[in-house]
Amino acid sequence: MKLYPNYFLLTVFLLVSGCSSTPWVKPYERANLADPIMSFNRDPVSSSYMAHVYEAREGSRGAGVAGGGGCGCN
């Protein structure tokens, strides 16, 4: 039990330091990621509409890339 705090702090330290101060993908390596074709939601007005199309006709909802509103579903 006495070693638990060491392991906990070590894990948090590795996660925080490993992810932060020296990111494994450097800013100058992110040209491909910055390309608009890599965006999860490139055209919000379009993806929001498709989310509404599905939400009105399915029993499930949530955790999409865009939100809809209202109903218009009969």
Partner 1 sequence: MAVVVVVTNTASKALLLLLLLSLYLVDINAAVLPEDRADALFHSYDGGGVEITGPSILVRKGFGDSVSATINHYVDNVSSASIDVLTTASPYSESRDENSIAVDYLHDNTIMSVALTESVESDFDASTFSINFSQDMFGDLTTVNMGFALGDNIVGQNGNSSFNEQATTRNYRLSVSQVITKNMIMAFAFETISDEGFLNNPYRSVRYLDPTTPVQYSFQAEVYPGTRSGNALAVRARYYLQHRAAIHGGYRIYSDSWGISANTFELGYTLPFRTNWILETSVRYYDQSKADFYSDLFPFQDAQNFLARDKELSSFNSLTLGAGVSYELDNKTWRTFKRGSLNFHYDYIQFDYDDFRDLTQSGSVGNEPLYSFNAGVIRAFASLWF
Q: How far is the CB of 71 from partner 1 (least distance, A)?
A: 5
Token couple for 17: 């330091």
CA distance 6 to 9: 5
Burial (0-12, 13-18, 19+ Cβ within 10 Å), 71: exposed
Q: How far is the CB of 11 from partner 1 (least distance, A)?
A: 10
Asked if residues 42 and 36 have their Cβ atoms less than 8 Å apart, the reply is yes
Q: Pattern of binders to partner 1 over 2-41, x per CB under 8 A?
A: x--xx-xxx-xx--xx-xxxxxxx-x-xx-xx-x-xx-x-
Task: Determine, following the binding rule CB under 8 A, whether residue 66 of this chain makes contact with partner 1.
Answer: no
Number of helices (H), then strands (E), in the chain = 3, 0
- Which residues of the chain form contacts with partner 1 (CB under 8 A)? 2, 5-6, 8-10, 12-13, 16-17, 19-25, 27, 29-30, 32-33, 35, 37-38, 40, 43-46, 48-50, 53-54, 57-65, 67, 69-74
